[in-house]
Structure 1
């Protein structure tokens, strides 16, 4: 026969298992990243660039954008540049020159909520870079927005000296988003199987406690 002390210990262990399961059921924290995202303008809308600026060679008349923000997902939920993005307006005062090209740039340092270390974001601005015809997007940015800061992996960390420190650091950005039709998996909370497992463990814990009490306080036999 199992001793009451052993049964009580088993009940405690099962209760602890319930606590672990419930803790695991808490909504996961999604991670965002604080960085300068890079955008291309096409058809009046921004498109998240699929290559780095050093690998992209823009044509004359191109509009490109940069936005500093905390973005949860690189492409789907990255924060776009704000403000007007019209080539004719941005490059109106920069005449065309043979053998060169003009690239309009929109640079949006974001909001105070996106800043880190107590920094105040500078105002968004636009600039028209006139660069050689074979220049990359990185060359165009360097022509109008120095100083630029890169890390050892070649990731752009700062434009015009902002921010002073940091480079793509992870930032906890609250509960993970609920599953969508494009992602048929459960991100926002515990699954049905997890709830069922917790319920089963809780039932076992309750049964163990009941057995302990029954042995300590046996019922009188019926006449």
Structure 2
């Protein structure tokens, strides 16, 4: 009889244990979930830091590629097309490409070839008012055909057609044709200040930037939070079932 009473009493004890485990799991969720949410959403969206500078580009067929070396060391060949764009960019992946005509035959049509010299087509894009330093207005984009000695660098070609140039103490190109009048690669606000028009794939192949591309769907942080909640809740249920068995 006592054994039967003992067995009959077990179900009365286990629900209490199960309830206690569930309460502990619920309490844990109540403590951890606000911290997760605050960590994920409390700080707001981060903004990338940009820099205002002249980027240097090379024409490869019908597209622009970011130059692998600076204009003071690059030695282009006769018939090459190179470009410069003034804009606010985070890095080379975010840099905005030059706009305007980028065809050697068109740019150098009125500049005849000479023995011992080479011709380079230069595309100079002074950017937009949104990217201009305070109080300055960017000149209109233009092209120029530089005829220079065969061993000349891009910087030499630029100096032949777009003076005055300005460099900083580290040989960073700061100004072309006197623009901008001041500043050199200074840090500015986030990437939202960069031009949003002229995305990759535009039919005219003008300006482009990788910044501002929208990504839809849940963020990694949201998925991590959801997974953490699921794990905590599952642990409470598992412990309750384990005690029941």
CA distance in 2, matches of 1:138, 1:165: 20
Higher relative contact order (CA closer than 8 Å, sequence separation 6+): 1
State the partner residue of 2:66. Answer: 48
State the partner residue of 1:219. Answer: none
Larger strand proportion of the pair? 1
8 A Cα contact 1:29 1:176, kept in partner: no
| Mapping of residues 99-178 of structure 1, within 5 Å | 99-170=116-187, 171-174=189-192
State the partner residue of 2:102. Answer: 85
TM-score by length of 1: 0.70
Deviation of the 1:194 alpha carbon? 6.4
State the partner residue of 1:207. Answer: none
Count of matched residue positions in the alignment of Structure 1 and Structure 2: 182
Deviation of the 1:70 alpha carbon? 1.2
Deviation of the 1:154 alpha carbon? 0.8
8 A Cα contact 1:66 1:108, kept in partner: yes
TM-score by length of 2: 0.64
Query: Secondary structure, in 3 states, of the residue corresponding to 2:75?
Result: coil
Deviation of the 1:196 alpha carbon? 8.2
Unaligned runs of 5+ in 2: 1-31, 193-210, 230-245
8 A Cα contact 1:148 1:159, kept in partner: yes
8 A Cα contact 2:98 2:123, kept in partner: yes
- Which of the pair has more CA radius of gyration? 2
Q: How much is the aligned-residue C-alpha RMSD, in angstroms?
A: 3.1
Task: Name the CA shift for 1:152/1:195 in 2 (closer, same or farther; >3 Å).
Answer: farther
Query: Secondary structure, in 3 states, of the residue corresponding to 2:158?
Result: helix
8 A Cα contact 2:36 2:225, kept in partner: no
CA distance in 2, matches of 1:53, 1:163: 18
CA distance in 1, matches of 2:185, 2:94: 16
